[in-house]
Structure formats: C-alpha cells, structure tokens
C-alpha cells in the first residue's frame, strides 16, 4: 500500500501490552521494551514477538534461540521504560541496573515492576522487513504478583510516553 494513503490513526487503534523481552548470548544478557507481543497458540502455548533487526536483543535471540517476556505493571516508572526502550545494550549493561533472576533457558526474567514472566524457545522466525517475527513455544511461566498490566495506550495517553522509530508501532510522531 502507498505509505501516503496509510491512516496512522487506524493503526493506533490496535491495542497492545508493554513487555520487557530478554535474551542471552552465553553469559551476556540483554533486553528491550516491546509492545508487539501476543499469545498466538494454545496447547502448546506459543508467543509471537516482533523485534527490530538492528537491536542487540535481536542478535541474542537469533543466536540463543530463546527469549523471555516479563509483563510490566501499570505503575512502572518512565525511567525504567527509558532504560530498556531508548538505550541499546550495545552501549550499556541494562540488566546490571534492575532486579532479575535467571530462567531455565538462561534468559533473565525481570522481577522489578513485572507481574509475570514467561520463557520460550524459538520454533519459527519470519522476516517481516524491518523486524523479525519470532514465534516461541512457552517452556516456563510464573506469576510474580497480582496487579494491573501496563498497556501501550496507557503509556501513550496517561504517561505521555514516546515510541522510538525502531518500534513496529512507530507512526512518525515526535
């Protein structure tokens, strides 16, 4: 479709959560903020995440074949989202700045500001252009505490949060 005919307001009505996706490469750990994540199958349970090809987390997921998803709570501070969503692990060690535990896959499970954690083994990866869609089979899951999950719309409308251009939901806004 011609980009000039694309109405971003229609795309912005799609709803998402907000997650920390983590992975590892040997002993090295990294993660990013992701809204493009969802459950896509049951029995076995499978998750799909869309990850920008330029990010360090992308490299780690390709190399390890594993990722973890930590579900952010609504009260997550903007500084925390900024750390994972606007900085690259190529420049800083993000995991040294937050509380986490290692999962069975070796991926870090972020416990700070998160309600639940899931780990998955990649069973398919699809090149969707700027991003790779990783589909993973869930190998572990745990609820950390009760609470309200952060949604993308809450982040945008209530917290006035921004979205970087390497997110699939970026629509050219400042």
Ligand X SMILES: Cc1cc2nc3c(=O)[nH]c(=O)nc-3n(C[C@H](O)[C@H](O)[C@H](O)COP(=O)(O)O)c2cc1C
| 87 contacts ligand X (rule: CB under 6 A) | yes
Q: For residue 147, what are its two tokens?
A: 């609470």
CB of 89 to ligand X, least distance (A): 3
Number of H helices, E strands in the chain: 4, 9
Of 88, 111, 125, 151, the one binding ligand X (CB under 6 A) is 88
CA-to-CA separations, 133 to 6, 37, 85, 146, in angstroms, rounded? 22, 9, 18, 29
The tokens 């330029």 sit on which residue?
Answer: 54
Burial of 151 by CB count in 10 Å (0-12 exposed, 13-18 middle, 19+ buried)?
A: middle
Which among 7-15, 61-69, 78-86, 117-125 is the span making contact with ligand X, rule CB under 6 A? 78-86
| 168 contacts ligand X (rule: CB under 6 A) | yes
Burial of 10 by CB count in 10 Å (0-12 exposed, 13-18 middle, 19+ buried)?
A: exposed
| 29 contacts ligand X (rule: CB under 6 A) | no
| 52 contacts ligand X (rule: CB under 6 A) | yes
| 136 contacts ligand X (rule: CB under 6 A) | no
Of 6, 143, 164, 173, the one binding ligand X (CB under 6 A) is 164
Choose between 4 and 79: whose C-beta lies nearer to ligand X.
79
Q: Cβ-closest residue to ligand X? A: 85
| 17 contacts ligand X (rule: CB under 6 A) | no
Binding residues for ligand X, rule CB under 6 A, total 27
Cα–Cα dist 38/90, whole Å = 26
Of 24, 29, 33, 103, the one binding ligand X (CB under 6 A) is 33
Radius of gyration of the chain (CA): 15
Of 30, 64, 70, 76, the one binding ligand X (CB under 6 A) is 30
Torsion angle, alpha carbons of 104, 107, 111, 112, to 10: 170
For ligand X, the binding residues (CB under 6 A) are 30, 32-36, 50-52, 55-57, 81, 84-90, 155, 161, 163-164, 166-168
């Amino acid at each position: 479709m011609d980009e000039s005919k694309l109405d971003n307001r229609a795309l912005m009505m799609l709803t998402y959560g907000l997650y920390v996706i983590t992975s590892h490469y040997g002993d090295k750990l990294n993660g990013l903020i992701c809204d493009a994540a969802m459950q896509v199958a049951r029995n076995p349970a499978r998750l799909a995440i869309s990850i920008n090809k330029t990010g360090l987390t992308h490299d780690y997921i390709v190399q390890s074949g594993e990722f973890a998803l930590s579900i952010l709570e609504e009260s997550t501070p903007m500084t925390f989202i900024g750390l994972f969503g606007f900085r690259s692990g190529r420049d800083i060690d993000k995991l040294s700045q937050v509380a986490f535990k290692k999962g069975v896959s070796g991926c870090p499970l972020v416990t700070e500001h998160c309600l639940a954690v899931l780990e998955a083994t990649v069973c398919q990866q699809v090149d969707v252009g700027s991003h790779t869609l990783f589909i993973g089979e869930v190998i572990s899951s745990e609820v950390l505490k009760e609470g309200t999950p952060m949604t993308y719309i809450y982040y945008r409308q209530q917290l006035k949060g921004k979205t970087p251009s390497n997110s699939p939901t970026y629509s050219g806004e400042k």
